[in-house]
């Protein structure tokens, strides 16, 4: 089990926090401008200071949530819900400390615009001073003021001095709005984390699929070598048994060159078509030691197709079949042809011979060698490649149709 946890990049987290509090700052500032709050300049920098502090508290909340990222989503959600409460209270307290010094000034500015005097007494009560007329005793006697009446200032308590309970109520009210703001960010962070985890899982899955595919291709290609080696050793044994030491030595040297070439490539990688056909010519050189008079070779590779990529040794079983069922089974010269063509945007490779063809009892031509080629094509290209094999007008032919994979 992989214990590695893919985390959201720190830069992304910090940008999301900065974006959240910048949006909050702009919205509150726009609201203040719309409702016409007084002393906007004095409020603006204090509001900015609170938002910076809020961003710092949000970073602390992130660090707390991050400690639980190896746990389930439910645990992370509960951590966010619980830890956002003290974080929002801390932001509310900072907000109160920053704005308390100018709250009374803002109220006084509002009252002054309306001709009212708003102040706070020594006990902390918020008072509204209003003028009250004192009727003259020599007046009309009906209770209405006359021209000689005097006025005094009467003070009305509009907000009593706050108690400890009032302070906590106000702090809680401020904290609630910040609480949901922090929860919204936490939800965004958990969503980003889930996205990062999903992408990491997708990359791991792709690596596992690639490894499995490479293992399959390696296994299929390794099936070719023992089969080929078995045939060549039989041929070598026959040459030795019949006293043809010179030809046996020539075959050993050819086998050495063949394996030096074939084993130099990555067993799961592609090779150029030119190299693949060159490898088959090495193989046919080996077989020509056995059949010096009967084996003829004809290769047709257009220059513009030479650098296309194909799976390594993909033609080997096809050429082997032509030797086994064409050259070996015939008493007359047999020509093995390897032809490459481009048809309708596809690479077409044909391996054919003018020998007697497959034995009549052979089922459909898909023996071990051809089945290996089919499986390798399916593993490498899926449904984009195909193989057909069967009798032709003058012998036997196998055709591969592949995507055109360019070099590099």
Neighbours of 355 (CB within 10 A): 24
Burial 126-149 (b: 16+ CB within 10 A, else e): bbbeeeeeebeeeeeeeeeeeeee
Q: What is the 3-class SS of 129-180, one letter each residue?
A: EEEEEECCCCCCCCCCCCCCCEEEEEEEEEECCCCHHHHHHHHHHHHHHHHH
The angle that helices 164-241 and 73-113 make with each other, rounded to 10 degrees, is 140
Instruction: Name every residue whose Cβ is closer than 8 Å to that of residue 228 and which is 6 or more positions away in sequence.
Output: 283, 316, 320
pLDDT at 1: 40
Give the C-alpha separation, 288 to 125, whole Å.
Answer: 114
Q: Beginning with the edge strand found earlier in the chain, give each strand of the sheet holding 126-134 in spatial order.
A: 117-120, 126-134, 150-159
Pairing assessment for the beta strands 295-300 and 334-343 based on DSSP bridges: parallel
Chain centre to alpha carbon of residue 384: 25
Q: Do 342 and 301 contact (CB within 8 A), yes or no?
A: no
Q: Helix and strand tally (H, E) in the chain?
A: 8, 10
Domains and CATH numbers, the chain: 1-114+165-216 (no CATH), 244-403 (3.30.565.10)
- ∠108-114-119 over CA atoms, to 5°? 25
10-residue stretch averages of pLDDT, the chain, 408 residues long: 67 94 91 70 85 95 91 90 94 87 65 68 67 60 55 67 75 89 93 88 76 61 61 78 82 77 61 90 83 92 94 87 89 95 95 83 60 84 92 92 85
Q: What is the DSSP string of 313-368?
A: TSSHHHHHHIIIIIITT-SS-EEEEEEEEEETTEEEEEEEE-S--S-TTSSTT--H
Determine the pLDDT at residue 224: 53
Q: What is the pLDDT of residue 112?
A: 64
Distance of alpha carbon 104 from alpha carbon 162, whole angstroms: 14
pLDDT at 386: 94
Q: Is residue 151 within 8 Å of 135, Cβ to Cβ?
A: no
* pLDDT on residue 287: 82
């Amino acid at each position: 089990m992989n214990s590695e946890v893919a985390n959201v990049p720190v830069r992304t987290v910090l940008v999301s926090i900065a974006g959240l509090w910048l949006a909050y700052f702009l919205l509150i500032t726009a609201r203040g401008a719309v409702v016409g709050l007084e002393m906007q300049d004095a409020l603006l920098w204090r509001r900015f200071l609170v938002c910076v502090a809020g961003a710092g508290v949000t970073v602390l909340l992130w660090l707390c949530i991050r400690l639980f990222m190896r746990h389930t989503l439910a645990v992370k959600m509960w951590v966010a819900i619980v830890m956002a409460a003290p974080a929002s209270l801390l932001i509310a307290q900072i907000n109160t400390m920053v704005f308390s010094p100018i709250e009374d000034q803002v109220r006084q500015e509002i009252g002054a615009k309306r001709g009212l005097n708003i102040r706070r007494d020594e006990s902390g009560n918020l008072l509204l001073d209003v003028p009250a007329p004192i009727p003259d005793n020599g007046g009309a006697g009906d209770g209405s003021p006359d021209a000689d009446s005097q006025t005094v200032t009467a003070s009305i308590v509009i907000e009593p001095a706050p108690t400890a309970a009032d302070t906590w109520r106000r702090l809680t009210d401020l904290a609630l709005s910040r609480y949901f703001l922090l929860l919204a960010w936490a939800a965004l962070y958990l969503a980003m984390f889930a996205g990062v985890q999903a992408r990491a899982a997708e990359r791991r899955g792709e690596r596992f699929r690639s490894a499995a595919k490479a293992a399959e291709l390696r296994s299929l290609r390794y099936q070719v070598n023992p089969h080929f080696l078995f045939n060549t050793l039989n041929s070598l044994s026959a040459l030795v048994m019949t006293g043809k030491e010179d030809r046996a030595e020539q075959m050993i040297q050819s086998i050495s060159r063949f394996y030096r070439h074939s084993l130099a490539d990555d067993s799961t990688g592609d090779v150029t078509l030119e190299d693949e056909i060159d490898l088959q010519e090495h193989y046919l050189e080996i077989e020509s030691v056995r059949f010096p008079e009967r084996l003829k070779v004809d290769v047709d590779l257009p220059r513009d197709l030479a650098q296309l990529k194909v799976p390594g040794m993909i033609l080997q079983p096809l050429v082997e079949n032509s030797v086994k069922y064409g050259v070996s089974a015939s008493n007359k010269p047999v020509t093995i042809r390897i032809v490459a063509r481009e048809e309708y945007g596809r690479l077409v490779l044909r391996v054919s011979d003018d020998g007697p063809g497959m034995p009549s009892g052979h089922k459909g031509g898909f023996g071990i060698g051809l089945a290996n080629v089919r499986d390798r094509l399916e593993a490498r290209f899926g449904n984009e490649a195909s193989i057909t094999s069967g009798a032709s007008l003058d012998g036997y032919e196998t055709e591969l149709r592949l995507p055109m994979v360019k070099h590099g």
